Amino acid sequence: MPAATIESAPAFSPTILTCDIAIVGGGIVGHTLALGLQQAGLQVILIEAQPESIAVAKGRAYALSILSGRIFQGLGIWEQVLPHFSQFSQIQISDANSPAIVHLLPQNLGTPALGYAAGHGVLLNALQSKLAAAENFTYLCPAQVDRVSYQPDRCEISITTPSGQVLIHSTLTVGADGAKSPLRQQAAINTKGWAYWQSCVTATIIPEHPHQNIAYERFWYDGPLGVLPLADGRVQVVWTAPHQQAQELVAMPIEEFTDRLQTATGNLLGKLTIDSQRFLFPVQLMQSDRYIQHRLALVGDAAHCCHPVAGQGMNLGIRDAAALAEILATAHQQGEDLGSAQVLQRYQNWRQPENWAILAFTDFLDRFFSTNLWPVVIVRRIGLRVLENIPGGKHFSLRLMTGLAGRIPKVAQSEAA
């Protein structure tokens, strides 16, 4: 069965395509959702505004959770991507120069690893390759969404492609189009949240000493510093600091930046050499008042954003995609209208409360540690010492951080990852 049916239309009219689900946004979350839906037998069209070469070339790495790994295992791409990822053999959490360090180990969770560092291009290429041969999938890239009209029985999406105008008729439209989601804004879905006083600086670094697959979260008074070990021996740094300081970190000479970074990491990795551009992005907490509307659902950053501490953002979007794919696949099997409020409410009831919990958790971590008020400093340093010596506390913390504390999508109910 072809992915899209072209209906006859008068000359000079737009090409008309029909599908079950149209996804706007071809990032990792959009592709994850598309693969889950395609494997359930649904006809899917994925629409991406950026040219494919730009979308794949993003030089970022993500902290990928155990649950995300199991989702990709269930989707059939894990064996392909895992050799290109590093596996966390340990996570070390510390507070500035305090000697108190929490060592989180795989045995605290009962898993082979605690997480993974996943390269953007490797993951997106694997998802695209898996979808490329599917008959019930169409990828429109680059394609710009001009208008979406939500009718009682379908969505009508008008897009512009290099080949001309296309009109898509779909049962449901999904917004995976980022934090500034045009689909969310056009649907007048309000959000709650705030911009932090901080920005993040990211860069790829070559360390003098082997990283030994250890991930670090070092909390400084101005903001957390995360270090992700990469499979090729490099590390990715995610350094959060007040806006002006973050801008200075990006603008200062490279040697001065690496010296500052070496001090901030406590010389754990020896002399550091920068191996990429320094990227700067602001930090925000955002939660949509609702994830759904008539024939519309939001996933990933279009629905919510959180502080990058603990590396939760991408993982929340991947869970959204797995949950929505499961709900829609079940509804399809039962002959239900995929765009109905009754079906979509199941997705919102599943994901919105779980995402609230992680948004609150990351906000607490940043505020609790990004201060030099001594009463707070004393409490948190005592807390770290207590956590280091209580296995049950480590187990609970890791289940929350790895996604295993919430509802597990059926696609991830495998212990392989």
The domain that holds 261 is classified in CATH as: 3.30.9.10
Phi and psi angles of residue 388, each rounded to the nearest 5 degrees, phi first: -60, -25
Q: What is the DSSP string of 333-370?
A: HTT--TTSHHHHHHHHHHHHHHHHHHHHHHHHHHHHHS
Residue 177 lies in a domain: yes
CA 207 vs. chain centroid, Å, equals 26
Residue 41 lies in a domain: yes
Alpha helices in 234-373 (DSSP H): 243-251, 254-264, 313-333, 341-369
Question: pLDDT class for 283, splitting at 50, 70, 90?
Answer: very high
Q: Is the pLDDT of residue 143 over 80?
A: yes
CA-to-CA dists, residue 391 to 87, 109, 116, angstroms: 21, 9, 22
* End position of a domain, from candidates 283, 301, 328: 283
- Total count of domains within the chain: 2
Same domain for 226 and 327? no
The tokens describing 262, both together, are 């070496």
The reported pLDDT for the residue numbered 12 is: 55
156 against 10, higher pLDDT: 156
Kindly state the average pLDDT of the residues 94-121.
95
Q: For residues 74 and 95, give the distance between their C-alpha atoms in angstroms, rounded to a whole number.
A: 37
Residue 100 lies in a domain: no
Dihedral over alpha carbons 207, 210, 213, 218 (to 10 degrees):
-50
First to last CA, the chain: 32
Q: Strand, helix or coil at 285?
A: strand
Least confident of 55-69, 128-142, 213-227, 357-371: 55-69
Contact indicator for 234, 207 with CB cutoff of 8 Å: yes
Q: Which residues contact 400 (CB under 8 A, 6 or more apart)?
A: 357, 358, 361
Kindly state the average pLDDT of the residues 192-200.
97
Same domain for 322 and 302? yes
The reported pLDDT for the residue numbered 14 is: 87
Pairing assessment for the beta strands 279-288 and 304-305 based on DSSP bridges:
antiparallel
Candidates 131, 137, 97; CA nearest to 2 is 137
Question: pLDDT class for 186, splitting at 50, 70, 90?
Answer: very high
The reported pLDDT for the residue numbered 59 is: 73
Residue 58 lies in a domain: yes
Residue 96 lies in a domain: no
Same domain for 241 and 257? yes
Give me Rg for the CA atoms of the chain.
Answer: 22
* End position of a domain, from candidates 283, 301, 334: 283
Q: For residues 229 and 2, give the distance between their C-alpha atoms in angstroms, rounded to a whole number.
A: 42
* End position of a domain, from candidates 283, 310, 338: 283
Residue 356 lies in a domain: yes
Question: pLDDT class for 8, splitting at 50, 70, 90?
Answer: very low
Same domain for 321 and 397? yes
Residue for token pair 């040219």: 51
Give residue 178's domain range: 5-86+119-192+284-412
Same domain for 123 and 252? no
Question: pLDDT class for 133, splitting at 50, 70, 90?
Answer: confident
Same domain for 213 and 318? no
Residue 103 lies in a domain: no
Q: Is the pLDDT of residue 2 over 60?
A: no
Pairing assessment for the beta strands 164-175 and 155-161 based on DSSP bridges:
antiparallel
Q: For residues 19 and 40, give the distance between their C-alpha atoms in angstroms, rounded to a whole number.
A: 14
Kindly state the average pLDDT of the residues 233-250.
97
Contact indicator for 88, 229 with CB cutoff of 8 Å: yes
The tokens describing 47, both together, are 């629409």
Same domain for 167 and 35? yes
Return mean pLDDT, the chain. 94
Kindly state the average pLDDT of the residues 294-304.
98
Question: pLDDT class for 11, splitting at 50, 70, 90?
Answer: very low
The reported pLDDT for the residue numbered 9 is: 41
Candidates 312, 401, 382; CA nearest to 95 is 382
